[in-house]
Chains A and B, each alone.
Chain A
């Protein structure tokens, strides 16, 4: 890879995740490598069960089940996220590394106001910020994710918002701490197509303006093609192909990648990445 070591903010090597729920151990992720540059957007694609979400959860530090072995290294900021203690992990979560989920409908706490939920990461990680400043930043963030009446939304409850608006709120909450890495785990799957395009545009905008690196997990190759500079294709826990998105799309080497590309509905595949 043609990046200098200064530009690499996340370095995953030989990640290996194994479940022990049943008699026979099941391998969820094998030999997963990922180097994420500053301000880069990397896509991970693959069918369900291919290990893409497991890898992302491992990076986010959400894999602490007992019936699970993991090995490898996830280096971030000089710390191995796989082995570090919970306290330092927690200090990264929501502040330096944020994640947004597939399900915007259920990912917001139904009894808390939107503003409160957007401010929560700030409240936890930056208690020195006064209340008014927090509110100002939350409203600013809500505006940045394209919610027009940010002041009104600030005082609303989740049930008053549509799915697309909730996903925008989730993104606002994830981005308020100005994280270095945003993991988007199928952020558009539960949304309809026009809203999908808007969310992808929003991620692109945030990436450009705030220089946040994004790991975009999806099974939708056309979205990955629109958004990501690099792509990793996974099948059954293994990386079958990775490289620049344009190259992978132009010359897929692996038969599975070819099949995935062939499965994209034939619409305009023009490349509008920059």
Chain B
């Protein structure tokens, strides 16, 4: 695809453009946050607590006098990392399980997919809570538990697509060329479902951002004094009426992330 085609596609596809701009801004904030934040993210300042939006603190300060914007910069990084890790684990495991069961079918398919269905039946937050309560709190545990919780939906999507593809003529044809089963799954079939996979990964991102926020809100994610967006929301709720900026700012960043990924996903699925 050349450059002008790319531009034309982008113009016909406002979702993709909007998604790219929003995610671009969020990423910019996170990347800048890696090197520089206006204030130390954990430095408390008792004389400046619970301030509203001002030039000194563009998102105000929290109940300990920490700069909310600096903490949002840091917290979105943690939230995004957890979301990426979750989707990476979930989509990776789910793709392998779904592709293998869908391709081979039979007993293996029945048994594995029933186990996956059972996993699917648990609300993902509940499942994550169980894992976190067994292995302790912390963001690694959170990552693994969310990854496992997200695996079933990917397994189902991939399995369905592999079932659709495996009876296509080109698969039959490849089989007649002597292609082995593994090569068939990963080289011949999976590239054909990458579109579906890409948009479900982006939807997965959304759910992961929300799940991270939810779990951190419940207090099982990153531990104080480190921030994540969900953790900040949960800390901020007592001050919702006195200092609305404290709860609104992290909330808006979560909304932006989710919206951006949703637009990206929609844009990619409409990509020609």
Contact = CB atoms under 8 A, between A and B. Distances in A.
Interface stretch (B23-31, B73-81, B114-122, B164-172): B164-172
A98 B174 contact: no
B123 interface: no
Interface string A98-118: 110101001111111000000
B225 interface: no
A111 to B, nearest CB: 5
Contact of B192 (A93, A111, A121): A111
Contact of A90 (B170, B178, B192, B194): B178
Contacts, number: 59
Interface in A112-160: 112, 120-121, 124-125
Contact of B174 (A95, A106, A120, A125): A120
CB-CB nearest 10 A-B residue pairs: A94-B177, A93-B178, A94-B178, A106-B169, A109-B170, A107-B169, A90-B178, A121-B177, A111-B191, A107-B173
B180 A109 contact: no
Given A109-B188, A111-B191, A112-B191, A103 B178 contact: no
A109 B192 contact: yes
Given A109-B188, A110-B192, A121 B178 contact: yes
A36 interface: no
Interface of A: 60, 62, 90-95, 98-99, 101, 103, 106-112, 120-121, 124-125, 170, 173
Contact of B177 (A103, A110, A124): A124
B176 interface: yes
A119 B131 CA distance: 48
Contacts of B174: 109, 120
Contact of A107 (B170, B180, B188): B170
A164 to B, nearest CB: 17
Contacts of B168: 106
Nearest to B190: A111
A106 B192 CA distance: 13
A120 B177 contact: yes
Contacts of B176: 60, 62, 93-94, 98-99
Nearest to A62: B176
Interface centre among B169, B173, B179 (most CB of A within 10 A): B173
Interface centre among B168, B176, B191 (most CB of A within 10 A): B176
Contact of B170 (A91, A95, A98, A110): A110
Contacts of A91: 178
B186 to A, nearest CB: 13
A92 B177 CA distance: 8
B179 A120 contact: yes
B175 interface: yes
